[in-house]
Each structure stands twice: as C-alpha cells, then as structure tokens.
Structure 1
Amino acid sequence: MKKTLVACALLASLVGTSAQAASLIGFKVGGDYWQADTSGSFAENGQPQQDFNYSSSSQGSIWVAIEHPIPLVPNIKIRENRLDASGSSVANGFDFGGNIYNGDINTNSDLSNTDFILYYELLDNDLVALDVGAAYKKMHGSFRVNDKVTNGRVNSEVELDSGIVMAYADVQVGIPGLGLYGFADVMIGVSESSVYDYSVGLGWQFDGLALDTKVRLGYRDFNFDVNDFDGVTTSTQFKGYFAGVELVF
C-alpha cells in the first residue's frame, strides 16, 4: 500500500512538473490586413529605371511565434508577408527581361517575402515589453512586364529569391489595468542598408482563461531600395494603414 502511495505521489509530481514546464512555453499567432499605397520604379541592373503608376491594393501578413524560458536560446517568429501590386506606364525603349518595350505597358510587382526572426525578450511586463534580435527576410516574388499594345503577348519576368539580413526590435508600452498599449515593430537591413520594414500603432489586449486576444491598428511602411538584387535595381515602397489580431496562448 505504501509503495502504491509513493508511486502515485511521484506520478502526480511528474505530471505537475510537466504541466508547469508546458505552461512556460508560449505561442502567438496573428494576422494583419493592410491597405497599402505602392510607388516605385525598377529595371534590370545597368539599365535606366522605369517609373510605374500603381493602384492601391490590399496586402496581408500572418505569423506564428514560439517563446520559451531556456537561457541563451532565442525565441523564434516566422511571418509571411504578401505584397503584390499592379501598375502601368508608358515606355520609351525600356529594356527588361530580353525585350524592349515602347508605348503602354503593365507591371505586376510582387515583393512577397518571409521573415525568419530570432529574438530575445529583454523586458516583459505590463508597462514595457522589449524584444531585440536579428531577422532574415527571404524574398520570393518577381517583377513582370506586359506589353498592352499586343494584349500581353510580349511579356518578361525576373524572379527574386535572395534574402536580406536585418536587425529587429519590437517594443510595447502599455497602461496597466486598461489593456491599451502602443507598439513599434522595426526591421532595418544590414546587408541592404536601404531596406526597412516598420509598423507603429495602438493595440488593445483582452485577457482570457485559455488565451489572450490583441486587436491592433496602425501604419506600416516597407521600403525595398536595392541595387543588383538578383539582377534587378529597384526603389519600391508599400505603405498604408492596417488592422490585425493576435492570439497569445
């Protein structure tokens, strides 16, 4: 009987320890809807850049983050960003993708990318939260040009598949007891110093039993200014207001 009681006590202790350890691991999932204005120009490396007039379009981001208490091991966040805009221009000898364009042309500029972020929590309380780390922004889009005169039968495309090393910081300043906070999320290029991606805004956190819910409103600016990036030189910018939600487990 005593052996049985001892075994049960050990089992309960192990279960309690496992549950406590599991509770120390946090998960965050979220998404933003972004109404962005796009501007910019591009060309193959060595050629004059062509300016395009872009229409405003909806963009989006989704992410997941895992946080843990293990010392010296960074937390991880992966964010997928969809950035895709259509534009038009009038070309005069625009040389792109092996074709020379004259007259009315269209473009589809796709700067979609995935952020792989490693970061440390330096502060984490109701008043101030601060994360700092490094990120790798992997591009997986393209620049495509279509000739309107021939109804798109003449077209060219240059794909982007390289990445950019970036510094990362995220800060939140809250008002304890109200759930209201301001935030700034900043990524600045290291390998490409003229590339940045930042967002600022306000959020509201609603605490629950199983999870917390954060509602976010803000402004985001992604600037992609590079020379000879996968053979393309461009200065393209997406900026505008967004709304989003994040679930914290």
Structure 2
Amino acid sequence: MKKINLSIVVLAAAGAFAIPAQSAVLLGAKIGTDAWYAGAKTNDIHVDDASIQSSYYIAFEHFIPLIPNAKVRYTGVASEKSKTDFTQYDFITYYEILDNNLISFDIGLNLQKFTGRFNNLNFDEWQPNIYSDVRLGIPTTLVSLFGSCSVGSYNETNTVDGEAGILFTLGLVAADLNFRVGYRIQNYKFNYFGTNNGKFQNNGFFSGIAFAF
C-alpha cells in the first residue's frame, strides 16, 4: 500500500496551528523567473555539462485566516545525453509563520507534478512534499539571505529540491524589484520504472529577477 511519510502530516498540522501568525498584508503577489546553469547526473553518472535551464513562478498572499497562501512554479529539466527531458510543476500551499524586515519563515505542502522522459522512458507522476522557505535580512542594507526546500518520500520515491542564495531588494513606487543569485540542487530517486534505476541529480548556480506587489 502506498504510504505518505508521516512527517508530512505532522508538519501540515504544525502549519495549521501557526495560522494566527499569517502576514498582515491584505493582498499581495510575487512573480519571477530564474536562469539556472545546471549540470546533470543520471544513475550516479555525469551525463551533461552545465547548460542554461529556466524556472518561472508566481505566488499569491492574503489576510484570510485558515486559508493558506499559494505558489506555482515551473521548471524545465533537460539532459540530452541520457535522453531525459521533463517538466516539474510545484503546486505549493503555505502559511507565513514569521514576516518582518529581519526574518520571514513559511511552511506548507508542495504537490509536485513530473511529466516527460527519464532515460528515454515516459512518465507522468505526482509527488507530495514538505515545503519551507526562510529569509534573513541584513540590518541597514538592502540585502538578505534566503533558502527554500521541498522534501518528500512517497511509495519509495524520494525527492529533494533546495536552493539558497543572496537577495537584493530595490523598492519601487508600486512594487519591490528583487535580484537574486544562488545555488539550486535537485536530488531525486524515482521509483516509477520497475527494475530500472531512477536516480537523477541536477545542480548549479542560478540568477533571477522578481517583482513583489
């Protein structure tokens, strides 16, 4: 029988108890894109030199208790030599535990959708994850440190997708303009292909731009 890692349920409950700390913002949105210079390993074999891959995301935040905020992210993954080419969609719901100029912390659930090819085998699967995001502001500067991670274990498929880096925020009239640089790693063990080994790692530096309204 398929079983979801119990830790997902526990952290989801913890997020529910933290609802009163939801941000005081009435309505907000974030939209951004990253260019990711990443190289891939398939089944522990280095198969591709680094190449530019893309990621896009949009998030909505509100003041309504009990209802989580939402974020959707698209990532395109390609490894030509191993005939691996798939898209990853992250459907994230989260609560803001802390949100001020010095620290912000979000926690929630991420339902990942994978569709495409792995080692020339087609797959179309969903994966539940725990999601967390943290930002630490550096006082008297426009710079902050950030990190986010999605971790899941379901039906012998294990996924880790994490990133960390530096964020520079420039305040505009109607929005904040954010520039960011960092490092991202995907470390996956897919159990979708029977006896075939489904290990995949994709990692490298990225840079991006985002608007926060």
Q: TM tier, shorter chain? A: 0.7 to 0.9
Deviation at 1:230, TM superposition (A): 7.8
Are the counterparts in 2 of residues 57 and 85 from structure 1 also a CA contact under 8 Å? no
Q: Which residue of 2 aligns with 1:205?
A: 169
User: Following the alignment from structure 1 to structure 2, what is the Cα–Cα distance between the partners of residues 231 and 82?
Assistant: 26
State which of 149, 165, 187 in structure 2 corresponds to 1:186: 149
Q: Which residue of 2 aligns with 1:126?
A: 101
Deviation at 1:194, TM superposition (A): 2.9
Q: 1:232 to 1:162 in 2, by over 3 A?
A: farther
State which of 149, 160, 163 in structure 1 corresponds to 2:123: 160
Q: Which residue of 1 aligns with 2:59?
A: 65
State which of 200, 204, 208 in structure 2 corresponds to 1:236: 200
Q: 1:242 to 1:67 in 2, by over 3 A?
A: same
Are the counterparts in 2 of residues 223 and 238 from structure 1 also a CA contact under 8 Å? yes
Greater Cα radius of gyration, structure 1 or 2: 1
Q: Which residue of 2 aligns with 1:48?
A: none
The one-letter amino acid paired with 1:212 is D
Q: 1:162 to 1:231 in 2, by over 3 A?
A: farther
Q: 1:230 to 1:129 in 2, by over 3 A?
A: farther
Q: Which residue of 2 aligns with 1:31?
A: 33
Are the counterparts in 1 of residues 40 and 46 from structure 2 also a CA contact under 8 Å? no
Are the counterparts in 2 of residues 55 and 85 from structure 1 also a CA contact under 8 Å? no
Deviation at 1:190, TM superposition (A): 3.1
Q: What SS does the corresponding residue of 2:75 show, helix, strand or coil?
A: strand
- The alignment yields a C-alpha RMSD, in angstroms, of 1.9
Alignment of 1:1-12 (within 5 A): none
Q: Does 1:223 align with 2:187?
A: yes
Deviation at 1:84, TM superposition (A): 0.6
Structure 2 length-normalised TM:
0.82
User: Following the alignment from structure 2 to structure 1, what is the Cα–Cα distance between the partners of residues 103 and 160?
Assistant: 24
Q: 1:176 to 1:208 in 2, by over 3 A?
A: farther
User: Following the alignment from structure 2 to structure 1, what is the Cα–Cα distance between the partners of residues 69 and 196?
Assistant: 33
After superposing on structure 2, the runs of 4+ consecutive aligned residues of structure 1 that deviate more than 6 Å are none
Q: 1:57 to 1:188 in 2, by over 3 A?
A: same
Q: What SS does the corresponding residue of 1:83 show, helix, strand or coil?
A: strand
Q: What SS does the corresponding residue of 1:55 show, helix, strand or coil?
A: strand
Are the counterparts in 2 of residues 161 and 230 from structure 1 also a CA contact under 8 Å? no
Q: What SS does the corresponding residue of 2:66 show, helix, strand or coil?
A: coil
Q: Over residues 167-189 of structure 1, what are the superposed CA-to-partner deviations in whole Å (9 max), with x where a residue is unaligned?
A: 00000000233111000111101
Please list every run of 5 or more consecutive structure 1 residues that lacks an aligned counterpart in the other structure: 1-22, 43-50, 88-106, 145-156
Please list every run of 5 or more consecutive structure 2 residues that lacks an aligned counterpart in the other structure: 1-24
Deviation at 1:227, TM superposition (A): 2.3
Deviation at 1:229, TM superposition (A): 4.9
Identical residues among aligned pairs (%): 33
Alignment of 1:76-91 (within 5 A): 76-87=70-81
